């Protein structure tokens, strides 16, 4: 089998599997069970139509760490100094910036863009077609969605289905257990309280919380960054 490409001083543990479409930067570590470059093969039960005939590249930047049993699909780019922790899964089409932490058990669906210095904590799910800008913090057990139909009326929209996930702006903070619904915009520097259900846009520099999440107050200047 054709060899993948790797830079200097990489440490690839026995038991990991790296496909030939993968390029690793310098000083990359891949722990046992890590899989990089997996094709998004479907059984036909999914709504999205996938072209698995094209083998698209994966790029992992310098000094990255890929944890045990993490799975990274093809057509993924990860910047330098980022950590993809144990059992995390990143689907095809994702772009992840520099100095990002994707914690244990996090799942990131297709075509999601994550900026620099983002932290996504344990067992969170980031949906497909989502944007997370720079310096965002997302707590544990957060869920996001890109489909208000919840699987209903699938035959009518299967051909052109393009569910849109939330957009989380710079320096926003999402408390643990929050649920963010499709297409919602979370404003810059805003705070979403723990266990909130966000059904509509959140303004910049505001605090929201509750079910459904409601405006609580504006942030003071000294509370921002």
Which pLDDT tens digit goes with each residue over 56-76? 999 999 999 999 999 999 999
**Lowest-pLDDT range of 28-32, 40-44, 108-112, 159-163:** 159-163
Q: Who's near 92: CB < 8 A, 6+ residues apart?
A: 40, 50, 56, 73, 74, 75, 76, 110, 111
In this predicted structure, what is the pLDDT of residue 55? Answer: 72
User: CA separation (Å) from 97 to 60, 69, 86, 120, 197?
Assistant: 10, 21, 19, 13, 27
Pairwise CA distance, residues 42 & 38, whole Å: 12
In this predicted structure, what is the pLDDT of residue 222? Answer: 86
Among positive and negative, which fits the CA dihedral 62, 121, 207, 149? positive
18: Cα separation from own chain's centroid: 20
In this predicted structure, what is the pLDDT of residue 114? Answer: 98
pLDDT over 60 (residue 128): yes
Q: What are the pLDDT digits (tens) for 147-165?
A: 877 666 655 555 545 679 9
pTM of the shown model: 0.92
Helix/strand/coil for 129: coil
């Amino acid at each position: 089998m054709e060899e993948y490409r790797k830079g200097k001083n990489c440490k690839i543990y026995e038991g990991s599997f790296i496909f030939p479409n993968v390029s690793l930067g310098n000083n990359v570590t891949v722990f046992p069970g890590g899989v990089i470059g997996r094709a998004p093969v479907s059984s036909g039960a999914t709504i999205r139509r996938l072209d698995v005939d094209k083998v698209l590249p994966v790029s992992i930047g310098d000094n990255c760490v890929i944890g045990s049993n993490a799975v990274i699909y093809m057509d993924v780019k990860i910047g330098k100094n980022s950590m993809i922790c144990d059992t995390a899964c990143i689907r095809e089409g994702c772009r992840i910036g520099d100095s990002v932490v994707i914690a244990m058990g996090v799942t990131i669906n297709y075509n999601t863009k994550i900026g620099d210095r983002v932290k996504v904590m344990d067992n969170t799910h980031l949906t497909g077609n989502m944007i997370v800008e720079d310096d965002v913090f997302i707590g544990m057990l957060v869920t996001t969605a890109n489909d208000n139909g919840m699987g209903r009326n699938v035959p009518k929209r299967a051909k052109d289905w393009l569910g849109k996930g939330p957009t989380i702006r710079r320096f926003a903070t999402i408390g643990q257990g929050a649920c963010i619904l499709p297409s919602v915009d979370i404003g810059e520097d805003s705070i979403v309280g723990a266990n909130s259900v966000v059904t509509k846009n959140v303004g910049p520099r505001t605090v929201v919380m509750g079910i459904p999440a409601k405006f609580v107050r504006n942030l003071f200047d000294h509370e921002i960054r």
